[in-house]
Amino acid sequence: AQSVAQPEDQVNVAEGNPLTVKCTYSVSGNPYLFWYVQYPNRGLQFLLKYITGDNLVKGSYGFEAEFNKSQTSFHLKKPSALVSDSALYFCAVKTGGFKTIFGAGTRLFVKA
Amino acid sequence: SQTIHQWPATLVQPVGSPLSLECTVEGTSNPNLYWYRQAAGRGLQLLFYSVGIGQISSEVPQNLSASRPQDRQFILSSKKLLLSDSGFYLCAWGAIAGAEQFFGPGTRLTVL
């Protein structure tokens, strides 16, 4: 069965510092991997995806993610965090079907 | 460009009352459509998905139902609401099976 794990409920980082939000997955077959962000009382917004190709994927708002097949990870990163990056982040996976499996979410707090 | 609408934005309903939440998509044809429920601002639970008019797949047996009367319209319904139906309901669309999903603004449902 497919699954996604986000091991941290919350990540705290100071503004200007680099941030990492972790994600590991378990699938049979080649995964499609996604990151989404959710601001309070809003729907999720798509940030970036990995389908194939370069393991480093760049997305919206300066975010990037690195696909590591051997570690089955897809960590979200940003070189310099902003207070406005504070939100709930979801990692998601699918293997070509219609359903996407979402992680439980990681709340990011960026302190000024 | 594509847009997705959900209404109402908030809803307070008594236990035992009926429910109808509507989702419409503009700017695309034959989208895959999804209903999710998010409890307590965390993980997403897939409720229903649809790959075409009149085609509904249910993920979780419960007192909710979904219908797709038109290509870009997706409706979530209940004949009698339960307290446990409270939550944040999100509609999403995706272009093809492996693609990212785009979410609507959500409906906050409170059942009293």
Tens digit of pLDDT for each residue in A32-47?
Answer: 999 999 998 889 999 9
List, edge to edge, every strand of the sheet that includes B19-26.
B3-7, B19-26, B73-78, B64-70
B59 touches chain A (CB under 8 A): yes
- Name every residue whose Cβ is closer than 8 Å to that of residue B80 and which is 6 or more positions away in sequence: B15, B16, B17, B18, B63
CA-based nearest distance B7→chain A, Å: 13
Please, which pLDDT band fits residue A29 given cuts at 50, 70 and 90?
Answer: confident
Provide the pLDDT for residue B41: 65
Give me the mean pLDDT over the A75-82 stretch.
Answer: 98
Q: Which two tokens stand for residue A65?
A: 């993610």
Q: What is the DSSP string of A67-104?
A: EETTTTEEEEEESS--GGG-EEEEEEEESSSS--EE--
A98 touches chain B (CB under 8 A): yes
Provide the pLDDT for residue B79: 96
Check residue B104 and give left, alpha or beta (phi > 0: left; psi -120 to 50: alpha).
beta
> What percent of chain A clears pLDDT 90, i.e. is strictly above it?
79
Query: Between chains, do B46 and A100 touch, taking CB under 8 Å as contact?
Result: yes
Residues of A in contact with B43 (CB under 8 A): 90, 102-105
Separation between Cα atoms, residue A73 and residue A105, nearest integer Å? 15
CA-based nearest distance A11→chain B, Å: 15
Separation between Cα atoms, residue A25 and residue A30, nearest integer Å? 11
Tell me which range, A7-21, A44-58, B98-112, is most confidently predicted by mean pLDDT: A7-21
Provide the pLDDT for residue A1: 76
Provide the pLDDT for residue B61: 67
The total of other beta-carbon atoms located within 10 Å of residue B52's CB is 12
Phi, psi of B60 (to 5 degrees): -135, 120
CA nearest to A76, candidates A56, A51, A93 = A56
Provide the pLDDT for residue B99: 83
Partners of A14 in beta bridges: A111
Per-residue pLDDT of chain B (112 residues; tens, 9 = 90+): 889 999 999 999 999 999 999 999 999 989 999 999 998 767 899 999 999 999 999 988 689 999 999 999 999 999 999 999 999 999 999 987 668 999 999 999 999 9
Give me the mean pLDDT over the A5-33 stretch.
Answer: 95
B58 touches chain A (CB under 8 A): no
CA-based nearest distance A14→chain B, Å: 23
Check residue A96 and give left, alpha or beta (phi > 0: left; psi -120 to 50: alpha).
left
Separation between Cα atoms, residue B18 and residue B101, nearest integer Å? 28
